[in-house]
Amino acid sequence: MIGLDMQPFGCIFSRVMDAVFKALADGSRRKLLDQLHSSNGQTLTQLCGHLDMTRQAVAKHLVLLEAANLVATIWHGREKLHYLNPTPLHEIYERWINKYERHRLQALSDLKKGLEENKTSKDYGKAHIRLCHLHSHDA
């Protein structure tokens, strides 16, 4: 039995991840992260220009993003600049996504895209073959 002090993903790590998942649960916060990804180092005023909400609402969203360590801020004179911190997202990737084999996820993604885009039967066949290949590895 592994002791609590030896667990790689213990209580503290869980609380941090919970804050990240909570922050990512809201579409407006995800849009803020997308805005910072496209143009890092924006002021509150600049970020407000991309959302249809009050300055106070955007500020509240930024507080949650900062608490989850998804956004870092730096004061430049009187301006507070907001920067995307991708580290918590990478940690989620390492913990929850990376443990699955990439080729399996890619095959499922290809099939999903093929079905959604209503592609020709030829393209669907390629995705179907890849999906069958995926299942043959499970046997």
| Pairwise CA distance, residues 67 & 105, whole Å | 31
pLDDT of the residue at 8: 53
Average pLDDT over the chain, rounded to whole? 81
Per-residue pLDDT of 60-94, as tens digits, reads 999 999 999 999 999 999 999 999 999 999 988 88
pLDDT-derived band at 112 (thresholds 50, 70, 90) equals confident
- For the beta carbon of residue 50, count every other beta carbon within 10 angstroms: 14
Whole-structure pTM value: 0.64
116 pLDDT more than 90: no
- Interval 6-12 mean pLDDT: 51
